[in-house]
Amino acid sequence: MFLTRHLRLSAGILKLPARLGIPARQCSTQSRDKKADESPDDDKKSLILRTNLFESAAKKDKQTYIEMVRIFEKRSVHRRNHVEFIYAALRHMEEFGVQKDIAVYKALIDVMPKGKFIPTNIFQAEFMHYPRQQQCIIDLLEQMEDNGVMPDYEMEAMLINVFGKKGHPVRKYWRMMYWMPKFKNLSPWLLPNPVPDDTFALARLAVERMCSIDPRSKVDVFDTKAVENALDHTWVVSGQSVEQSELLEAHSKQEPVYIEGPFVIWLRNRCINYYVLKSAPKPLPTVEQTEDPDDVSNLHNPYIGLDLRFRKGQRTGSAVSTQRRSVHEQDDGIIYAICCTGTSTKDSLLSWIRLLEKENGNASLASLAVLFKFTSPTAEVTVSDGNSNTVQH
């Protein structure tokens, strides 16, 4: 009886909201499960929107790139998906032309939340506390190193604020600051940074670098319009020293000279083709030893007598100096001149030979056969007759 009364009372309580017009709430986990199912999709949509900002940009420059980073910072207070955003920003750096700008890298580091990733004990410091975030910034620093961007002390303070002094990105920064200043100005051939995009300026820098092996080298700029019957009207940057002219004058008239190329020289991230005028490989002449090598009564200076007058005719210098060969005499031949042309065609190279003969005083080229020896597998061997303007294939 008591149980029956209790059940009736419970049924009356359940009917009471319907009589009063109040909607009854039912306990169910369906809505929570639905929200849990939709949250990953929402995160993916927001992530796609944030990473596609760089692809949908109409104007791609530094100012637009920085604005994209600021938009991401203002959209989310908690800055969720910041690792994915930084990776997407690193991939699009070259499109915006900011891969060598240190201010852009600082802006990406500033996206990371501050203080959350600092290790609090030795175990967190050594076992890489928050590994995805630390590896993301390490990849950013490696991209800086690949592009030759040296960090500064402000970046160190930013990294310490994010990961602490025991963080792995800070250790990577310290290694970069130790090695990069040592290699920054190590090359004796200083180049402008960034390297100019103009082909003529690159050619002049390349020829000057290659000719620096001989201090007496002279770099000349020719215009092929000065050559009669020239098909290509372009510029030619030529390099030749006095000793190379003397070696060319002493070249045998029965043996041809070769124009070999194109070879590639790199100037930072730019490359340019160049050609060399050289001879066939020649064995060095043996010098008869007429004096006792153990006799120290009459010592000679080995640094005197490198000129050609000690290689032909009456030798008045020391026997040691005659055995020393010129820097232009290599095992694969004697290099007489080098050049870069605007079109890299056979006609421009023929014009270069005629300009060497006319402008630089290499009269021996008029009686020498010039052969083209291109490195391309489809190149033809062309013979230039110095006495006429005809070309034989």
Q: What pLDDT digit, counting tens, does each position of 231-266 carry?
A: 889 999 999 999 999 999 989 889 999 999 899 999
Asked if the model's pLDDT at residue 365 lies above 60, the reply is: yes
Tell me the C-alpha distance between 18 and 331, whole Å: 105
Supply φ then ψ for residue 372, to 5 degrees: -90, 130
- d(CA 26, CA 17) in angstroms, rounded, equals 12
What integer best gives the mean pLDDT of the chain? 79
Name the nearest CA neighbour of 99 among 132, 140, 131. 140
Residue 173, classed as helix, strand or coil, is helix
262 vs 325, residue with greater confidence: 262
Which tens digit of pLDDT belongs to each residue from 38-92?
444 555 445 444 556 778 777 888 999 999 899 888 876 667 788 999 999 999 9
Report the percentage of the chain scoring pLDDT > 70: 72
pTM for the full predicted model: 0.64
Q: Which residues contact 76 (CB under 8 A, 6 or more apart)?
A: 46
Tell me the per-residue pLDDT of 151-180, one tens digit each, with 9 for 90 and over.
999 999 999 999 999 999 999 999 999 999
Q: What is the mean pLDDT of residues 368-380?
A: 71
Please report the pLDDT score of residue 378 as a whole number: 36
Domain residue spans of the chain: 43-184, 190-284+327-382
Per-residue pLDDT band for 287 (boundaries 50, 70, 90) equals: low
Q: Helices 82-91 & 62-75, crossing angle to 10 degrees?
A: 170
3-state secondary structure 94-162: HHHCCCCCHHHHHHHHCCCCCCCCCCCCHHHHHCCCCHHHHHHHHHHHHHHHHCCCCCCHHHHHHHHHH
The closest alpha carbon to 339, from 226, 202, 238, belongs to: 238
Q: Distance between CA 83 and CA 133 in Å, rounded?
A: 6
For residues 125 and 118, give the distance between their C-alpha atoms in angstroms, rounded to a whole number: 8
Task: Kindly report whether the peptide bond that precedes residue 151 is cis, defined as omega within 30 degrees of 0.
Answer: no
* Helix locations, the chain, DSSP H: 2-20, 30-51, 62-75, 82-91, 93-96, 102-109, 122-126, 131-146, 153-163, 168-184, 199-211, 242-249, 319-323, 346-359
d(CA 330, CA 326): 8
The model's confidence at residue 285, banded by pLDDT at 50, 70 and 90, is low
For residue 174, which phi and psi values (nearest 5 degrees)? -65, -40
Residue 318 pLDDT = 42
From CA 355, how far away is CA 94, in angstroms rounded? 41
Please give the pLDDT value at position 37. Answer: 45
For 5-19, 151-165, 251-265, 353-367, which range has the lowest pLDDT when averaged over its residues? 5-19
At 87-120, the pLDDT tens digits run: 999 999 999 999 999 999 999 999 998 888 999 9
Q: DSSP 3-state assignment of 329? A: strand
Q: How confident is the model at residue 376 (pLDDT cuts 50, 70, 90)?
A: low
Who wins on pLDDT, 150 or 74?
Answer: 150
Q: Which three-class secondary structure state does DSSP give residue 12?
A: helix
DSSP for 58-102, written as a single string: SS-SHHHHHHHHHHHHHH-SS-TTHHHHHHHHHHTHHHHT-TT-H
Residue 324 is given by DSSP the state P
Question: Would you state the pLDDT for residue 146?
Answer: 92
Question: What is the mean predicted confidence (pLDDT) over 336-345?
Answer: 93
